[in-house]
């Protein structure tokens, strides 16, 4: 904790208020070809108006649902690091003002694009309390980066990481992607090797999903997207898991690997189905069994914040759906789901009883196994995670 963070030890906090905060900055230098996130090309955007609107949303949110001590903050996007240093300083001040009580061990992450980080900006981030950076690297092959619409190259990656170290960051993560068009197993192996050479404490490695409303989706339907075969994609995933393990990383979630003690605590909030604030255009939040989705467009969001909370939709999650969510997101964690935590979230309900039928079937298929505290994916289950998670969709909420 930096010396200027407020101490909170003697304060009383509201019971059950979220301890995690997600904030969305929806601007990017350009739009990557596979991206369906709520992000807009930066040029001509009213960035300061947006930051002021988020300040209002944070203020209204803290009034409506007074915060507890905040344990984790994650600033995602978009590309938060497109903010200029003075905009970044303004933004980080507004976060601290609206959510002033931070735990001693706060994990404050910010996503960064290697093409948009310089030492001055990184110093502002560090001074503003950010203590973890997640770089969107995706690949160590420049041709491939170009073909997926990224603006950075591998030199930018090395420079950004050096700059981040010089600015005082030691907790960094990078994202890689596999299953990309024209990516071979050898190319993936090379990227993993290069990533491991950096010796960072955390890596996230995702497979490409061709999402609607992306350039790749249109190309896919025109038969112009040369994706690797399913066998190659499976081989890539197995290589990733093997190399990470050999290098001393713990696979703690389907796509996430960490040196011991460096697991992302913020994302673990989602996987444990716990509450979090969601601030910014298109952000969603979850508190007291209510989920909200914010207005997505920048200008409508800015206007809505002037008169209240910028909600596009707010809906109650009934107990049946929350139980299904608990299983679907919880089984993504390699530690699995805990029967005690289930009982705690659902008034003493017994996980074994509520999900008796799918658990029995998945155990028989060898896709999950029993642990001392509940259930988790087997090695086989890891490869077919979507089948496992799909077993819980609508199971209780549709009355099946």
- For ligand SF4, the binding residues (CB under 6 A) are 28, 31-32, 35, 37, 39, 77-79, 113, 136
Under a CB-based contact definition with an 8 Å cutoff, are residues 193 and 177 in contact?
Answer: no
- Minimum Å distance from CB 80 to ligand SF4? 10
Whose Cβ is closer to ligand SF4: residue 297's or residue 358's? 297
User: How far apart are alpha carbons 357 and 397 in whole angstroms?
Assistant: 15
Cβ 209 to ligand SF4, closest distance in Å?
12
Tell me if 279 sits within 8 A of 54, measured CB to CB. yes
**3-class DSSP state for residue 113?**
coil
Supply the minimum distance, in Å, between the C-beta of residue 24 and ligand SF4: 10
User: Under 8 Å CB-to-CB from 280, ≥6 apart: which residues?
Assistant: 22, 23, 24, 25, 26, 54, 57, 294, 301
Least separation in angstroms between residue 347's CB and ligand SF4 is 39
Report the phi/psi class of residue 372: left, alpha or beta, with left for phi > 0 and alpha for psi in -120 to 50.
alpha
Decide whether 278 or 336 has the Cβ nearer to ligand SF4. Answer: 278
Residue 79 or 160 having the CB closest to ligand SF4: 79
Backbone angles phi, psi at 124, to 5 degrees: -65, -40
Q: How far is the CB of 149 from ligand SF4 (least distance, A)?
A: 7
Q: Rounded to the nearest whole angstrom, what is the least distance from the CB of residue 75 to ligand SF4 in the complex?
A: 12
Q: Which is nearer to ligand SF4, 28 or 283 (CB)?
A: 28
Answer whether 345's CB lies under 8 Å from 330's CB: no
Which residue is associated with the tokens 């503003």? 128
Radius of gyration of the chain (CA): 21
**Which C-beta is closer to ligand SF4: that of 220 or that of 384?**
220
Contact residues for 380 (Cβ-Cβ < 8 A; gap 6+): 366, 367
Closer CB to ligand SF4, 106 or 176, in the complex? 176
């Amino acid at each position: 904790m930096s010396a200027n963070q407020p101490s909170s030890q003697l304060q009383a906090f509201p019971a059950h208020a979220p301890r995690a905060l997600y904030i969305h900055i929806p601007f990017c230098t350009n739009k990557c070809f596979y991206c369906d996130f709520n992000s807009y090309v930066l040029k001509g955007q009213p960035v300061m108006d947006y930051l002021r609107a988020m300040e209002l949303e944070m203020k209204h949110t803290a009034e409506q649902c007074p915060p507890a001590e905040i344990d984790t903050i994650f600033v995602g996007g978009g590309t938060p690091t497109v903010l200029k240093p003075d905009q970044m300083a303004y933004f980080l001040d507004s976060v601290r003002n609206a959510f002033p009580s931070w735990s001693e061990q706060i994990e404050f992450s910010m996503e960064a694009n290697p093409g948009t980080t310089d030492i001055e900006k990184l110093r502002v981030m560090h001074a503003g309390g950010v203590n973890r950076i997640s770089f969107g690297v995706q690949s160590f092959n420049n041709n491939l980066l170009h073909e997926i619409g990224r603006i950075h190259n591998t030199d930018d990656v090395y420079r950004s990481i050096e700059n981040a170290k010089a600015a005082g960051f030691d907790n960094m993560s990078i994202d890689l992607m596999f299953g990309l068009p024209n990516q071979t197993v050898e190319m993936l192996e090379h990227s993993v090797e290069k990533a491991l050479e950096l010796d960072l404490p955390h890596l996230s490695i995702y497979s490409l999903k061709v999402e609607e409303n992306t350039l790749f989706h249109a190309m896919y339907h025109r038969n112009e997207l040369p994706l690797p075969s399913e066998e190659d994609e499976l081989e890539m995933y197995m290589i990733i898991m093997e190399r990470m393990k050999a290098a001393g990383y713990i696979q703690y979630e389907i796509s996430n690997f960490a040196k011991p003690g460096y697991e992302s605590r913020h994302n673990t909030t989602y996987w444990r189905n716990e509450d979090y604030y969601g601030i910014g255009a298109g952000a969603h939040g979850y508190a007291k069994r209510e989920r909200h989705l914010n207005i997505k467009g920048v200008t409508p969001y800015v206007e809505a914040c002037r008169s209240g909370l910028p909600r596009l939709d707010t809906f109650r999650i009934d107990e049946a759906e929350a139980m299904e969510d608990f299983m679907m997101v919880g089984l993504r964690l390699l530690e699995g789901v805990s029967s005690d935590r289930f009982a705690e979230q659902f008034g003493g309900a017994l996980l074994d009883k509520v999900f008796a039928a799918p658990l029995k079937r998945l155990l028989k298929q060898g896709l999950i196994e029993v642990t001392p505290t509940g259930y988790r994916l087997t090695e086989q289950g890891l490869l077919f995670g979507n089948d496992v998670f799909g077993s819980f969709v609508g199971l209780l909420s549709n009355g099946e």
